[in-house]
Structure 1
């Protein structure tokens, strides 16, 4: 469903990109990070369980043995981006849900967040910033996560997000390198957020189905995956479904075979691709995964949707999740990390 809503200020017009489509391209990012050698442990009693090696969704460090919270581990992440919608309250809700998602993607629960705000204070009213922060607070409250302040800077381009700390049982951790042949692949939210957001930025049309999908927490999907015994997952955000499937398969040493007919899409997503509302981030995603993907006879529009830069997308779980469609399976490693059928 699309609606028209009068907004005094169109926040998306103050940003060169929108949402997770403004991420640094994955190929460029890996070129930078690949040159960094991070130690696997900081101290002997706080081992790093998940770090830089596989490009997972968050870092995880074990708590010292004998501490009150042991054997829990700490999950740490940060995520922020430029306006993805014009409504400031919705932008705040979406950015918070997106940041919290990294903790859910690791099988954890968020317990504390701090705001990250960049604001062009001489151009945009602080009343709008207050609405952004209110949206973030409301979603964090829904998640049962404290918001304890944050950091702000004067910036020509508005940006908002959160740094989030969570807790997880190390024995029930979801990682992107734990996929094994024979595991089904489940996707917990439909694709198409990127193209609908890009259409919103270009035309001002409001897509209620996209907003509802982006503000929805991945909490229940994460809990269901853990309860079902899953050990491998990632969330689908700025690198698109194909990019995140590729990273999961590569980290796990397997191939992801995707049933393209089983992948769900939001209403209006195909029409948005047909009408040309495809972000540069999506096209860069597709270019990046192309050498690692066997596209078969998949048509051009479907390829773009599968590479669509999502903002606050769902979880891609190696396992069956109640209520989520199975969109493929993991098989023994082949020539390509992703195969479309």
Structure 2
């Protein structure tokens, strides 16, 4: 499905990536983000291996070929099941398979995967090895610096050594601990302190690993500082979602040295044929436009854009005409 990406292309693309975010980075979101940046590496929401292998929920793998380069993130802790899920993902054309070792949600803990895997690096290594044997595309890992009462400076090097020995060459490190007891998933994104220095030290200690940093990075300027400081990549989450134009429309020239910044008004017009195809296939308008609400964040007309889409996209029969209506206050202010 679409262009296939070589390893060297993916290593370049991962200079900047958009974090996998549950309920946010679905296929509609990724199509939208791809229009903003041709280069940035995109991730699916986490898909659990049991859902694919035992549940047969193969619709969770649906994507548009325009999304490439795109990574399938898997959740799970059983090597054989993860290997089968990875094979299913590779078969439909995902460019890379990523193992989630960082998500702190309750359902993740009950399934013994996500951040809790930081406690069992040998099991993670077994999972990576099984996945690598099952697919030809690259297998990568996303992790935290530790969980609960672990000492990150002690456990993170051991974790990285184990996955490197299993053949993982690329890892994204969320520079916060995950507290599995006492903090909600939302609190785990903000309350544990960031330790960027530790991630930079890991790059010095493991120079052969491709290391991306994640957590609290909210601008391309901040991303550039980490890249210039020696890291191989930067992953941005909420800022890329809530201010997509600020992060993604300028990513290609600023981070990759290619192309020109994309105009958000142009992006809206480029989304219309995609939206019409999805609506004709049974999608509802709000399922797509909810990801576009922040497109004009901080710009004149942004409030009217959000209001018109938020109030109208849920209505029966809502069509692309609503986007053109919502665009009028923005385009009018741009012309003023």
TM-score bucket (shorter structure):
under 0.3
Greater fraction of residues in strand: 1
Return the TM-score normalized by structure 1: 0.27
Return the TM-score normalized by structure 2: 0.27
Identify which of structures 1 and 2 has the higher relative contact order when contacts are C-alpha pairs closer than 8 Å and 6+ apart: 1
